[in-house]
Chain A
């Protein structure tokens, strides 16, 4: 009996979670106007891909897709290198002021990123970088929580491994590249997924930093489209599907690592 109640709740929440997506996909396959009828329809009368064709041919959605891909991919790769190097240094080197520096960095995490946005905009404008990929990529590279997670992970790596490599004549960079990086692979995969999805879904900063239509990332382009086509429900739904789908597939493929990563962050606090 109790078991049935638990399942009823679970299935009810499942439906609530999925229903908006179901309707989104369904409406994106309708002909224009059909989603705005009374009573509302759950299924298209006849499935049409006209909205998607419209997205690709007239609204140039591939361009935004590529922008999102370039930006998210660059942030992910660069931040993995930069943060793993810093995490390695904090975990395995001794230098004066290390603890203080690390604590200082952690205390920065309380500062909301919105505080930095105005001067960052002015700075990048002055450098001529506003409305370029770099304007979105550069501020996304160094991540304090990323450094923290990698450091925690590397603390468990025995020093003897590093010493042995030293005796064999390996340089510091060789040790980082051929011992530390492979050892840290699980945490790096988790961070990569995390970073990529955050960058893909990021909205406020790309909205500020990309000032011309051709440079928009998908979420910014979609928000902009909403301003112009707010009555064109079916088209907007197709745009939403197209924005959600890549990252959703990415998540479903790699969800094991992602969920583990959140649990790790939570336990470490």
Chain B
């Protein structure tokens, strides 16, 4: 009897309702609505009266595929993800191994300091870095000049703007994945390394044959969250370059924002959002497939 009482179903619904109702109204309905809007010509006129929006079938998607700005934003976003993602994961892993090294005292201190950029506001940090990247008065070029490298106009040169944004993003984010890697490293049994040392395996060899394979699940998890996050690049170019110079830092989300909320081309913008969703979905599925195959 107590069993029946404990699993009181109406109580379960009472506890679930607030979360499920908010998720339904403010997440699920908007996702479906965005899907519908992406097949309409919803624009600034429809904003006053929704009835002005008409269904236009696949027109937005066709236009997007013929839109050079879309391809530019796609290319830039992939540049950011494919260079920035692996770089940030590598730096995170390196930092995790340093902090986790048995030789180090005060590892808690280093862990804390490396984490500080993660918790700070991306907007504030982007503003600070904008000045650090200043070609004349910026600190970066000052130090580069000291070691004899001529002034690069970091954010003003189309070739350097994206690398500059990647550099800042890695600086800002590596601490987060570092913490996850430290947790992963601490789960590797110590005797594996001891056995390898006795057999005379070098540090590099141990890294390759023990650390990397044992960390594979952690790395996959880190790769998925990093890549999904990096596809959503927005605040850095919004603050630092407004997508310039010559659209070299225009990301998909920034383009989506401009189309949707600056020009109010909401149908077009919704279609862009769905293309982003589709890309993220495909990339995540590929990564999960890799995971499944490696587990077999």
Contacts and interface: CB of A to CB of B under 8 A. Distances in A.
A162 B23 contact: no
Contact of A255 (B115, B121, B129, B130): B115
A166 B111 contact: no
A119 B15 contact: no
A149 to B, nearest CB: 13
B166 to A, nearest CB: 15
A70 interface: no
A201 interface: yes
Contacts of A248: 116, 119-120
A230 to B, nearest CB: 8
A200 B233 CA distance: 18
Contact of A3 (B103, B116, B183): B103
Interface in A29-57: 35-40
A117 B31 CA distance: 9
Nearest to B117: A17
User: Which of B98, B114, B117, B121 has the largest number of chain A CB atoms within 10 A?
Assistant: B121
Contacts of B31: 111, 115-116, 119
Contacts of A133: none
A118 B269 contact: yes
B124 A240 contact: yes
A6 B280 CA distance: 37
Contacts of A114: 232, 253, 256, 273, 276
Given A14-B113, A162-B6, A262-B180, A237 B232 contact: no
Interface string B214-243: 000110011000001001101100110000
- Give the interface size class of chain A: 35 or more
Nearest to A255: B112
B30 A244 contact: no
A36 B120 CA distance: 24
A184 to B, nearest CB: 13
Contacts of B128: 20-21, 23-24, 237, 240
A83 to B, nearest CB: 6
Nearest to A4: B103
Given A3-B103, A118-B269, A204-B234, A13 B18 contact: no
Contact of A247 (B119, B176, B232): B119
Contacts of A139: 26-27
Contacts of A269: 217, 221
B23 A266 contact: no
29 contacts: A6-B98, A20-B129, A20-B132, A21-B120, A38-B136, A39-B142, A40-B138, A82-B19, A82-B22, A88-B15, A93-B7, A110-B280, A112-B228, A112-B277, A117-B260, A117-B273, A123-B29, A138-B22, A139-B27, A201-B119, A201-B122, A204-B257, A233-B131, A243-B124, A247-B121, A248-B120, A251-B115, A251-B119, A262-B180
Given A105-B23, A112-B273, A248-B116, 17 more contacts: A20-B132, A39-B142, A112-B277, A115-B277, A118-B270, A119-B29, A119-B37, A123-B26, A123-B33, A139-B26, A166-B5, A172-B15, A201-B123, A218-B121, A240-B125, A262-B176, A263-B183
